[in-house]
């Protein structure tokens, strides 16, 4: 204890200096700029914005640099900064059908109004390490023509004949739940649930979504639609009373279509799971949609037995900043508690040895 404790302050300072040196790496190699990270590690930036719950590319890039590329650490930095910002209000609901689409695919229909737009995707690349980067396609030669005009959402196309449950109508005046201002309680509303999933760890949601596909809460998903593009964000300042545009943000939206057998009062029809995230984040949006649908089990009268259908389990463990903090706090000293346990184990062992050594008493009396 005295050994570990003395010089604690100096040890921390030295550790910080060492960390700074490790972060910089070999000084002969040029230092990364925040702009390079923002531009060339854009998907890492998107993930940090999503799970950090803050749409700011430059700050996310800075966090990645400061965190030496540890994305959960970067997410933590962004969250801690975000927690100090005042909350001005909630934006108007964004209209993703008015999105300037860069990518839009549906796995449910071969063709549909607006067409399939492949956009920038890894999907059909061959995963071969490109040891001669110059041999690849010339980036300058590509030109994306964003699809102009409204592109209807697949789920809305299906809604007309009641084959799929309708999109809930946006209620602009309804209060918006916010986990950062009200602690999670159960059962959680769907708004809070989706916020929790949007902030949730991508790997965790991926594994949970995957588990539903493998039979743990199976709900027969189809990727109804995945779209990526820019939407305008509007905000109504109380003193103006009408909505003013704040700018554009990039979003990825996934509408999963899932079967529903129907019930005594409801005819069979397709249901949906929903995923939405900042930037380009298809894996996250798809996983989120699968888990959202799994969590609707009780609402739809389905038997909820799988982990992904257990709201309390899923939502309580999705936050990687919380998770990493608690797992890693095991590095903190626990010697007081360990000492207490040590005392008990010694006592139990002494009693065990004494009992074993004592002559066996005859049961007959």
Partner 1 sequence: MSAELDLPAYNFAYLDEQTKRMVRRAILKAVAIPGYQVPFASREMPMPYGWGTGGVQVTAAVLGPDDVLKVIDQGADDTANAVSIRKFFVRTAGVRTTTRTADATVIQTRHRIPEAPLAEHQILVFQVPIPEPLRFLEPRETETRRMHALAEYGLMHVKLYEDIARHGHIATTYAYPVRVEGRYVTDPSPTPKFDNPKMNRCAALQLFGAGREKRIYAIPPYTEVISLDFEDHPFERYRLDGTCALCGSEESFLDEVITDDRGGRMFVCSDTDYCERRRASRPEPAASNAAADVAEMETDRG
Over the window 299 to 338, marking each residue x when it contacts partner 1 by CB under 8 A and - when it does not, the resulting string is -------------x---x----xx-xxxxxx--xxxxxx-
Q: Using CB under 8 A, pick the residue from 18, 118, 163, 340 that binds partner 1.
A: 340
Regarding 31 and contact with partner 1 (CB under 8 A), the answer is no
* Comparison of 263 and 339: residue with beta carbon closer to partner 1: 339
Listed ranges 81-89, 141-149, 244-252, 260-268: which one lies at the site for partner 1 (CB under 8 A): 81-89
Residue 82: Cβ-neighbour burial (10 angstroms; 0-12, 13-18, 19+): middle
Contacts with 295 (C-beta within 8 Å, 6 or more apart), sequence order: 193, 308, 309, 311, 314
Q: Using CB under 8 A, pick the residue from 125, 134, 185, 265 that binds partner 1.
A: 185
Question: By CB under 8 A, what part of segment 186-205 binds partner 1?
Answer: 186-187
Of 215, 190, 171, nearest in space to 272 by CA? 190
> In angstroms, what CA-CA distances link 365 with 185, 299, 355, 360, 361?
59, 64, 20, 13, 10
Q: Using CB under 8 A, pick the residue from 90, 144, 341, 350 that binds partner 1.
A: 341
CA distance 120 to 35: 21
Of 63, 141, 155, nearest in space to 109 by CA? 155
Regarding 248 and contact with partner 1 (CB under 8 A), the answer is no
Regarding 7 and contact with partner 1 (CB under 8 A), the answer is yes
Quote the radius of gyration of the chain (alpha carbons, Å). Answer: 26
Q: Using CB under 8 A, pick the residue from 22, 138, 182, 303 that binds partner 1.
A: 182
Contacts with 111 (C-beta within 8 Å, 6 or more apart), sequence order: none
Interacting residues toward partner 1 by CB under 8 A: 1-9, 11-12, 34-35, 38, 56, 58-59, 61-62, 76, 79-80, 82-84, 86, 180-187, 312, 316, 321-322, 324-329, 332-337, 339-344, 347-348, 351
């Amino acid at each position: 204890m005295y050994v570990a404790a003395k010089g604690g302050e100096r040890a921390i300072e030295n550790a910080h200096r060492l960390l700074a040196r490790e972060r910089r790496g070999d000084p002969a190699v040029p230092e990364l700029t925040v702009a390079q990270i923002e531009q060339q590690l854009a998907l890492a930036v998107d993930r940090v914005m999503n799970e950090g719950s803050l749409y700011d590319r430059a700050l996310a890039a800075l966090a990645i640099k400061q965190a030496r590329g540890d994305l959960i650490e970067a997410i933590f930095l962004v969250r801690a900064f975000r927690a100090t910002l005042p909350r001005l209000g909630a934006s108007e609901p964004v209209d993703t059908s008015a999105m300037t689409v860069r990518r839009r695919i549906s796995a449910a229909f071969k063709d549909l109004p607006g067409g399939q737009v492949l956009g920038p995707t890894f999907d059909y690349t061959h995963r071969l390490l490109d040891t001669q980067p110059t041999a690849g396609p010339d980036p300058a030669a590509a030109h994306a023509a964003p699809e102009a005009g409204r592109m209807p959402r697949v789920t809305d196309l299906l809604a007309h004949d009641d084959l799929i449950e309708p999109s809930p109508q946006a209620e602009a005046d309804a209060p918006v739940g916010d986990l950062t201002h009200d602690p999670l309680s159960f059962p959680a509303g769907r708004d809070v649930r989706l916020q929790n999933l949007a902030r949730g760890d991508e790997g965790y949601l991926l594994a949970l979504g995957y588990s539903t596909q493998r039979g743990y809460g199976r709900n027969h998903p189809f990727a109804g639609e995945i779209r990526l593009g820019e939407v305008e964000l509007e905000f109504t300042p109380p003193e103006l009373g009408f909505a003013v545009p704040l700018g554009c943000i990039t979003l990825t939206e996934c509408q999963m279509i899932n079967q529903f057998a129907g019930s005594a009062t409801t005819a069979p029809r397709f249901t949906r799971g929903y995923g939405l995230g900042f930037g380009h984040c298809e894996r996250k949006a798809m996983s989120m949609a699968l888990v959202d649908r799994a969590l609707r089990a009780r609402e739809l009268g389905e038997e909820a037995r799988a982990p992904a259908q257990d709201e309390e389990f899923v939502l309580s463990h999705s936050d990687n900043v919380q998770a990493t903090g608690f797992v890693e706090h095991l590095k903190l000293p626990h010697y007081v508690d360990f000492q207490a346990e040590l005392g008990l184990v010694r006592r139990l062992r002494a009693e065990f040895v004494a009992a074993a050594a004592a002559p066996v008493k005859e049961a007959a009396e």
